[in-house]
Structures are given as C-alpha cells and as structure tokens.
Structure 1
Amino acid sequence: MSAPKFRPSRRSALLALAGATAGGALPPVAAPAAAAADTPAALPWAEPSAPTVPGARMPMLIDPTDPWHFTPRPAGALATRAIAGGLEVSDGGGVLATLTTGARTVTVRGPRRWFTEQKRRVEDSFSRELTGGTTGWGTSPDGGTWWPNSKDDAHVADYKVTAGRAAVTLSATGSSRHAYLSDKGLGDVRARARFSFTQVPVGAPLSLALTFSLKSLDTHYRARLVVTPAREVQLVLEKALDNVVTVLGAPVTVGTGFAAYDHWWVQAEKTGDVLRVRAWKHGVAESALPAWTHSLRDPDGTTALGAGAVGVRAYANSGAQTGVEARVYDFLVEEASWTDPPVVTHDTWVRVLPEPFDGTWTPELEQRVRAWAGDLSPDALAHAAMFLPYASSVTDPARGGAKVLGPSLYSRPDPVTGLRTVGADFQEYAGISWTFPGFPARAPEAEFLGCLDCSGFVRMVYGYHMGIPLLHESAAPDGHGLPRTSAQQSAAGPGVKIADGGTGTVPPLTGLRIGDTVFFDTDEDSDAGGHIGIYLGPDQYGKRRFVSSRKTPNGPTMADVGGKSILDGTPASETAKGDLYTNTLRVIRRF
C-alpha cells in the first residue's frame, strides 16, 4: 500500500496556481567569457524529490495578479532626485529605481514576488566516526544537530556513532534515552528509521521508537517497536502529553523469532491529526511493504500535537538486562513541511549595472532603467532562490551541459567529525574550469561538485550569473572584482560599505537595502568575514531575512535550521546568547 499524498493547504494551491501562471524554470543568464568547460560529472548526491503538489515548495513565485502586469511600464515620464549617497528615479507610480554612487547594484520596482523555503529531505546513515571523547550523534546531513537527551544527563555518554550506526547503551532499566534532530518546526511529516538491538531481551521487553511532533521529552507521538523476551516484535502507537502516556494503537505483533542484530524498519506519517505507522523486517521489497498497522486520528483533537521535532527513543522496561545497545542504522525524513515557513514578499528586483554608478544621470542610464521597468528576466534574488531546495535544475549547453542553477549542498561531511568543509566555489558547483584574469585556467575540485560555500554562493549569484568580475583566489582584491573569501569581500569587495560596526559591534540597519551583502563574525580568525549572505527583505513577521549557504542546513537557505536567518532577532543582551546572526553582523556592503 503506497503512502497517501499530503493534502495541499489553500495557500499552497494558490501559490501553485501563481507558479503555473508566472512561467516555468528560470533560464540561465550568459556567463562572462571563460575557459572551455570540462564535461560535467554526475552529482554524488540525490537532489530533493519533486514536491507532491506542483508549486507548493517552489522557492520563488511571481504574483500573476499584481497590477504591474496590466499597466504601462514605466508609468509616464521619469524624474530624478538626489538622495544621500545616490539617486532616486520615479515615474507616475512612485519610486521606480534607486542607484548608489560607487555601486553596480540597482533596486528596481517590479511585480510582487514570494520567496520561501520548505523542509528538504533528510537522510542520515551515520557514516561518520566521532572521536576524541565526543559524545552524541553529531550533525545529520541536511537535518541539523542530533541532541542526545535523557532525564538524567549522566547518561549522555551512553550515546555514540561508529561504523555506520548510531547507538545508545541502555545502562539502566525503567528510563528513556532520547535523541532528536534540532528542527522543531515540522508539521506534516513522513519518516522512517532502521533499528536493531545487540541482544534478545531477558526479563522484560526492550523498545525503540520513532518519535515525531516532539515538543519535549514529555510531549510527542511515538511509533514504538517492542521486542519481548519471547522474541516477538510488536508495534505500538503512543502519545505522551506532559509525561502522561496514552496508547492510541494497542500492541500488534508484526514478527516473531527475533534474533540479536535483526534489523527492523519503523515508519510514521502525520498529516494534520491523522497518524499512520507500520513496521517490517529489513529486506522486504518496497512494493511488498505491509499496510499501515495503525491508521487513525488523534481521538482528542483539542490536544493533537502540532509542529515538533523527529527523533528516536530507546527504552528498557524495568527488569530488563542492562548493557544492551539500541542501534539506529538509517534515519530518513522522507517528506516534511514546516507549519510556519519563512516568507518574504515585496516588489523589489535587484539589477546590476555594467560599471559602478558615478553619480551622473545619463541618457544611457535612463534607457537602461526604462528597459528594467518591464523586465521579467531573472535578477540577483531570483538567481539566489534557484539554489534553495526544490528549485528546478538548469543546465548550460554552452558549457557541456553543466548545471548552473538548482538545489545546492554546502559540502559533503568529513567522515571523522561529520562536519562540513569550506572550499566549494561557483566552478565547483558546476564542475567547470575557469580562467581568471592574470592566472592560468583553474580546474574545479571534484569533491565539491554540486556544492557552494557561503562566499562561493555569492560569487555564483553576483559573479557568474550577474556579471561582476570574478577574481582568482590568489589575486589581491582590487575593489572592483569579487574576491574568493568572505573576509576579502567584506574588506575590499566591489561597491561601497553601507555600514561597518567594527570589532565586536553590530552596525545600524538604517541604510540596509534589498540585495545588499551582509557579513558576520562567525569565524574566530576573522572579525568581519566569517560568513556572508544576501539580504532578501522583511519576512511575514517584519524581520529582516537573508539567504546564505551554511554548513548545518547543508547549503543555501533562508530558513532557521542551525540559526535564524534574520538580522534583527533577539540581541545577546536579552538572553544568554541571543540570535546568532543578529549578534554577529559586522558589515553591510552594496556591490
């Protein structure tokens, strides 16, 4: 029996209609001249699966009902007005464009757009070896940090990852051992995990559960795989609410003859208040999976659990033997949706001049702004959105079919630490060679194919696609081209600094404009260049949100896994640390 499709929300259906009306995948913009491309290799990772509802997860949609589509562009004659640091251009509809002296980026009024992001698929096979006394399960690919937890912190050392499996030692009976992913915003979700025990239970049952809608250790749903001393395998569906446990689906025997190290899958699906769970022994073909063991609505709708995290819970009943390892070999979030995804909506488009604006309004500039007034070709923000999860992939025939747009990773995790490494520039993503001014052709590093680090993401958007000259990693920054690292881009990148807070100080946001690059002190070796992003605009809560490529969410993101992507969140003065990027912002630059 195949898993049922998620029902789209009314808003998702509207967005899908908008996407269908506005057009299909964004075409690539011609890149600056470079060396001939290598034949692109196959990506070493699977892209996110297509969304169930077309358009429901698209990272950018144009509003087809915006009056922009039905009115003259520009609306009448153009007028200019000098403003601090630049020039403002208006037509009969209001401010049409804003130019900054010394910068190439120009903001232009266009049709209204939505930018958003939805949860990407998570696949964790625990193929990492945490050493050096490190406890816990490390960081999952795409899913954030695993948090080991129990009612007694003394047992945190019982958690480990080794040789392609995560494990927790049940060192005491009658107590729970939880591990969960840090993302607590999941609403509808479908997940599965592969479990085993290193011993057959003696004296009392052992269990491993797939937990979902987890708000705390005391409040969650769980699909619990129970192994009895009689070697029966049972599946139970439970709900814990403030540590009061309700059995929603009574134990059902799904197997017999359990032996140590037998592997069993548990799958759970939540759609609104509808819960479905099942279990099967490893090796069963996908086409032969059993029907749902339990399929029901939470009988108490008033306490149905909403958004939460996913994870696992190991439990040794009182009287069971100790020293048993509960193991997890695979953990997959097959599909999930955030109940409150980030959404940025506005009518600002970010265009790039061939040269920095020198402060003079010319007929050539007027002609260019008039053309931009009716232009629907991709701008900087559209290109940035095309690297988020569920974007369409676009290849460039002129570069041997290399992929130049589409979902990106940050990098593959280090096999020892599970952490991700810096090194993926724009040419690594596409798998192409590139000739920089004054240097011989540089070949891409194959290990980073399909990946972008934070500065590589900005170079891909503003350099490769929008035409700002790209500098070799060994070239001295010249204030005109786009250097390789975020520290160089901050200190001596193209354009002008809008704000500089200096060492340890957050600058004011008063001059911030959509499309600006923002730099953060997240690197102990570089006060202003540890991280870089592109400012997208205010979100649905009025918070200034940026997009950047980050290690924990494993690629470009405008969401909050691994730290909120906002510039005006909670300051450190109000809590122990505050919001990471709010408190580490140091420089704002306009290219």
Structure 2
Amino acid sequence: MAHRRGFRGRTALILTTVTGVLAGAGALALALRDNTQPDPAAQPQVVAQPSATTTDGLSFRRLQDPPRTEVVGQDGKPVAVLTDGSRTVQLAGPRRTFAEPRFTNAKIKSGWWVRLAPAEWTADGAEQDWFRPWLRDALADRSPDVLAVAMEYTYGANPQKKNGLQIAGDAAFGPLSEIDPDGRAENSDFYDYLGVSWKFSDGKKEQPSATHLRSLDCSGFLRMVYGYRLGYPLRGTNTPGVGLPRRAYAMAEFGPGAQLMPNTGKRAKGLDRLLPGDLLFFNAGPVQGTNIEHSGMYMGVDDRGHHRFISSRTTANGPTFGDLGGESILDGTGYWAVRLRTARRI
C-alpha cells in the first residue's frame, strides 16, 4: 500500500496510440513520466570521496541487541558489521553523498557501504575459511552496492541495460488506476519492471504485465535491489521458506534475516539499532495496529540529523527518499515516523 496524501504522480499523462503488445507497454510506461527530459539538477546524485581500507591488523568484538560481530581496524574504528542470521554487511568505505533534489533538499552523507556476504553470519563466522578473503575483497569493492543500486530507480535515474535488457532507470510505482484508493495500481514486481517471465525456486511462475512495465511497488522495489540486482534468493509466494517473500507483510512476519525490533502494533522503538540497508515495515492502512502495508529501506542519518529511508510509493510515483506527501524520516511525528512497526536485516 502507498501513502495517500499529496500529489499522486511525478508526471502528466500522455496518451499515445501504438500497435503491438510491447509497444503498448511502452506507451503506458510513457504515461508515467514527463513529456520533457528531466532537469539534470533534479537527477539523483551519488558522490564518493576516495579512501583506502585493508584487512591488516583487524580485531573482532561481539556486541548484542542485535547479536553481531564488529570488525575493528588498527585505528580503533569499525570497518565492518556482520549480524547473526543476516547476509547484509555494512562496510567502511569512501564517504558518499546521496541527493534527490527533485523531492527534498536533505542529503545523506555516509561512509557505509552495504553488500551481501555469501552466507548468513554466525557467532564463529570470523573463523570460517570464506570470511577473510571475502572481507578483503568487499572492503576494496567500489562497484554499486545496495544503497547505490537503490538510487538507480529514483526520479531521473538514467536507463541502464545489460545484454539488451533495461535493468535500471527511473521507475514508476504503477499505472494509473480508478479503483485503487491511492490512484495507482500495486502489484509491480521486478519482473514487471523488466518485462520478462520468471520462475522462482519455490516453483511459482509469473508473467510480466504490460501495463506495469518499468514499475516497482514498495516490496517489488526491495526485491529488485536485493534480489534481481544483488542475488538474494526470492520467493514467488508469501509463505515461509528460503528467500524474500513477495509482499511487505510476509517479509515482516516471517522473512529471512534478523528482526531488529518487535511488531507490537505501536510505533517501533530503537532507531539506534538501524544500519543502512535494513528493511523497514510500516502500518499504512486506515486501522492502526500490527498490520503491515508498506515497506522501505533505511538509508542512514541525513545532514539534518534525521533517520531517512527510501521506498516506492504513489506520491512520488516510484522510489524516493524525498518529502513529497510526507517526510521520509523515522524520527519526529510525521506520517511515516509514527507508522513504523518493525525492521529486518536480511
């Protein structure tokens, strides 16, 4: 589900007649975007500053709440955080600035990079054969990480293709809908954005919807970033098992990884437990309680001191960490802040 208030789309509706199924999908996708080129000043920005980190002289310390291992460098500063039951690893690297000037003046400046380890972390993980070689390579890796990949679907992001298939670029939330209370249809998963059929490891088979081409709803956005782009296993259903389920409520209730805060049906506490890349789950329905209708990803503390997240929703017609129709922050008394219920580190 998406937030209802404010402007419902980024763009004006363009009506174009095109023959053929794929051409028709392209025309409907155009209806979700401007009829002018995005202003370069409004395009998402990721600016990195150079630095170097090695694995020489590392030490390890165990921390709790949640149980995790912190890898510390010779200068006493953490260079990696690995959480029990999770493959998500936060790594020290060059500081970057994330900006989305179309929808907010806030910027996120962070030295954390987020990547997936080949296995879920355990308390004795530092003794496993795979760990040190992987950590050495991960600390030196400057290819797009979880946070950078997420930004590749925000407003004005340039299209990227691999083997002729567009795998990234400005994503809509979904097509206009007269029956959906938020004004745009949900059910836009990663394979809809790509326009390809998909068979999941749990046996579920899916076909893309032509009207949802280049669209990602809230959970579809997370599945695109973590699953299709970075290789985290995905499920085709909303049942327990290996991989990330389809819907936000299933991810929150029995999804993989470590739960960072319990869902009590009230505003979640413990924002200090969050690290960039964590999945967030919100009650966005008319009835307040434990129900989960929206999901997002924690990006970090912005330059105003607020805990900021990114999610795909109707107000910006796609992924955003901006403030259109409600600030994308977890502290304070805003719409999303009071509706945060739980979080996971997958």
Q: Determine if the TM-score, normalized by the shorter chain, exceeds 0.5.
A: yes
CA contact (8 A) 1:342 1:558 kept: no
Find the structure with the greater CA-based Rg.
Answer: 1
Contact 2:88-2:116 within 8 A present in 1 as well: yes
Q: Does residue 217 of structure 2 align to residue 462 of structure 1?
A: no
1:76: Cα distance to partner?
3.1
Distance 2:59 2:22 in 1: 50
Q: CA deviation at 1:492?
A: 0.7
Where do residues 252-267 of structure 1 align in structure 2 (5 Å cutoff)? none
Greater Cα shift, 407-416 or 455-464? 407-416
Structure 1 residue aligned with 2:165: 402
Distance across 1 between alignment mates of 2:78 and 2:192:
39
* Cα distance in structure 1, aligned partners of 2:27 and 2:261: 39
Q: 1:79 Cα shift?
A: 1.4
Instruction: Report the Cα distance in structure 2 between the residues aligned to 1:58 and 1:88, rounded to whole angstroms.
Output: 35
Unaligned runs of 5+ in 2: 1-20
1:552 counterpart residue number: 315
Q: 1:372 aligns with which of 130, 138, 141?
A: 138
Q: Equivalent residue for 1:22?
A: none
Give the aligned partner of residue 240 of structure 1: none
* Rounded Cα–Cα distance in structure 1 between residues aligned with 2:27 and 2:152: 17
Superposed structure 1 runs of 4+ greater than 6 Å apart: none
- SS at structure 2 position matched to 1:82: strand
Greater fraction of residues in strand: 1
Q: Say whether the 8 Å CA contact 1:389–1:408 is kept in structure 2.
A: yes
In structure 2, relative to structure 1, the CA distance for the partners of 1:437 and 1:43 (3 Å cut) is farther
Q: Does 2:256 align with 1:494?
A: yes
| Inter-partner Cα distance in structure 1 for 2:130 and 2:299 | 28
Measured against aligned partners, the alpha-carbon deviations of 1:104-158 in whole angstroms (never above 9, x if no partner) come to 1000011111111122xxxxxxxxxxxxxxxxxxxxxxxxxxxxxxxxxxxxxxx
> Residues 177-234 of structure 1: CA distance to partner in whole angstroms, max 9, x if unpaired?
xxxxxxxxxxxxxxxxxxxxxxxxxxxxxxxxxxxxxxxxxxxxxxxxxxxxxxxxxx
**Map of 1:104 onto structure 2:** 87
- Partners of 2:297 and 2:116 lie apart in 1 by 14
With normalisation by structure 2, the TM-score equals 0.85
Measured on the aligned residues, the alpha-carbon RMSD in Å equals 2.2
The whole-number CA distance in structure 2 between the counterparts of 1:74 and 1:388 is 33
Distance 1:404 1:43, change over 3 A: farther
> Comparing 514-523 with 439-448, which one deviates more in the overlay?
439-448
Instruction: Tell me what 2:7 maps to.
Output: none
Q: Superposed, which structure 2 residues align to 1:230-249 within 5 Å?
A: none
The residue number in structure 2 matching 1:359 is 123
Tell me which residue corresponds to 1:582.
Answer: 337
Distance 1:482 1:581, change over 3 A: same
| Shift in alpha-carbon separation, 1:468–1:43, aligned structure 2, 3 A | farther
Specify which structure has the higher proportion of helix.
2
May I ask how many residue pairs the two structures share in their alignment? Answer: 315
Letter in 2 for 1:81: R
**CA positional deviation for 1:413:** 1.4
1:348 Cα deviation (Å)?
0.4
Give the equivalent residue in structure 2 for 1:472.
Answer: 236
Alignment of 1:172-571 (within 5 A): 341-360=105-124, 361=126, 362-397=128-163, 401-415=164-178, 419-439=183-203, 441-473=205-237, 476-478=239-241, 480-524=242-286, 527-570=290-333
The corresponding residue for 1:60 is 45
8 Å contact from structure 2 (residues 298, 308) kept in 1: yes
Aligned residue for 1:193?
Answer: none
Distance 1:39 1:439 in 2: 26
CA distance in 2, matches of 1:446, 1:394: 20
TM-score by length of 1: 0.51
> Once the 2 structures are TM-superposed, how far is the Cα of residue 350 of structure 1 from its aligned partner?
0.6
Cα distance change on mapping 1:455 and 1:77 into 2, 3 Å: same
| 1:42 equivalenced with 2:31 (yes/no) | no
Answer whether contact 2:157 2:170 (CA < 8 A) is retained. Answer: yes
**Conserved? CA contact 1:118–1:389, under 8 Å:** no
Where do 5+ consecutive residues of structure 1 fail to align?
1-37, 120-337, 571-578
* CA-to-aligned-CA distance 1:275-298 (integer Å, 9 cap, x gap): xxxxxxxxxxxxxxxxxxxxxxxx
Q: Please list the CA deviations of residues 404-462 of structure 1 after superposition, one character each: whole Å capped at 9, or x if unmatched.
A: 11100001211467711211011111111101124253211111111111000011111
Deviations 1:320-368 (A, max 9, x none): xxxxxxxxxxxxxxxxxx6x61211111011111221122212311111
Q: 1:528 to 1:371 in 2, by over 3 A?
A: farther
Tell me which amino acid in the other structure corresponds to 1:111.
Answer: P
Q: Would you say 1:83 and 2:67 are equivalent positions? A: no
- Once residues 545 and 385 of structure 1 are traced to their aligned partners in structure 2, the CA distance between those partners, rounded to angstroms, is 14
